[in-house]
């Protein structure tokens, strides 16, 4: 199943086309369970190393828990981001997407949502288990989940921009890391600061608000930049 061509795009509504693209991306994820499980497996294995390296006691683990969870979530997102547009580029569906008469801004949304759902959203839902394992204070767990959900949205959009720029390259993984890692830093800072504020008994709302602001800014501007980057990357 491929993305509708320009003529087909005229025969269906934009909403129908978006649902078709989303359905296709989710089906592709289900058919490649290893790729979906890879970030979660990486997240799990790396976090299991912390008790071995730092010590198994709560007194040793708790001060590092928030930072460790966020850093490993960021790296897990980097691990999966290269494949957002890769398969569509290889089978020609990406060319059809770029030639569609529908606005590219909206056509990219299903890709972003499907990737967020299978990586950042999944990690955020599983994070309480790992937070408990790292002796994170229970007051910080809800903030950890909320911040990861918002932060993963930002990281997905920024990561998709890097993936779009390097989609025509055979080995773009390291280049993606160099391009987008600096843009992940504010998300990491606000996410960890929010969790630490909740643990200290302070309000995490300012940090969650900053993350929400970054998310909505990325959502407003990101798909436009990704569309332009796809046209550049697909021509390389």
* Per-residue pLDDT tens digits for 120-178: 888 899 889 989 888 888 889 999 999 999 999 999 999 999 888 888 776 656 777 78
- Strand ranges (E), 132-213: none
**This prediction's pTM:** 0.85
Angle subtended by helix axes 14-31 and 33-54, to nearest 10: 60
Number of H helices, E strands in the chain: 11, 0
| DSSP letters for 6-26 | HHHHHHS-HHHHHHHHHHHHH
- Percent helix, strand, coil in the chain (nearest 5)? 85, 0, 15
Q: Cβ contacts of residue 236 below 8 Å, gap of 6+?
A: 168, 169
Banded pLDDT at 207 (limits 50, 70, 90): very high
**C-alpha to C-alpha distance for 187 and 115, rounded to whole angstroms:** 18
pLDDT tens, position by position, 23-66: 888 887 777 777 778 888 888 888 888 888 887 888 888 888 89
pLDDT tens, position by position, 100-116: 888 889 989 999 998 89
């Amino acid at each position: 199943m491929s993305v509708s061509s320009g003529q087909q795009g005229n025969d269906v509504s934009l909403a129908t086309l978006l649902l078709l693209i989303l359905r296709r991306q989710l089906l592709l994820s289900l058919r490649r369970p290893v790729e979906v499980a890879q970030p979660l497996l990486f997240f799990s294995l790396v976090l299991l190393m912390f008790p071995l390296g730092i010590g198994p006691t709560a007194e040793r683990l708790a001060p590092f828990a928030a930072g460790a969870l966020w850093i490993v979530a960021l790296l897990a997102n980097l691990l999966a981001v290269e494949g957002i547009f890769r398969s569509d580029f290889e089978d020609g569906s990406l060319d059809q997407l770029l030639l569609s008469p529908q606005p590219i801004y909206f056509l990219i949304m299903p890709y972003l949502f499907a990737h967020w759902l299978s990586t950042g959203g999944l990690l955020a839902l599983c994070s309480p288990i790992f937070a408990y394992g790292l002796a994170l204070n229970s007051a910080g767990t809800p903030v950890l989940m909320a911040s990861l959900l918002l932060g993963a949205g930002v990281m997905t959009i920024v990561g998709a921009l890097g993936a779009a720029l390097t989609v025509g390259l055979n080995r773009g993984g390291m280049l993606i890391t160099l391009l987008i890692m600096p843009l992940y830093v504010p998300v990491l800072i606000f996410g960890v600061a929010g969790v630490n504020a909740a643990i200290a008994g302070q309000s995490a709302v300012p940090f969650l608000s900053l993350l929400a602001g970054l998310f909505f800014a990325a959502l407003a501007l990101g798909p436009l930049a990704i569309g332009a980057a796809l046209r550049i990357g697909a021509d390389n």
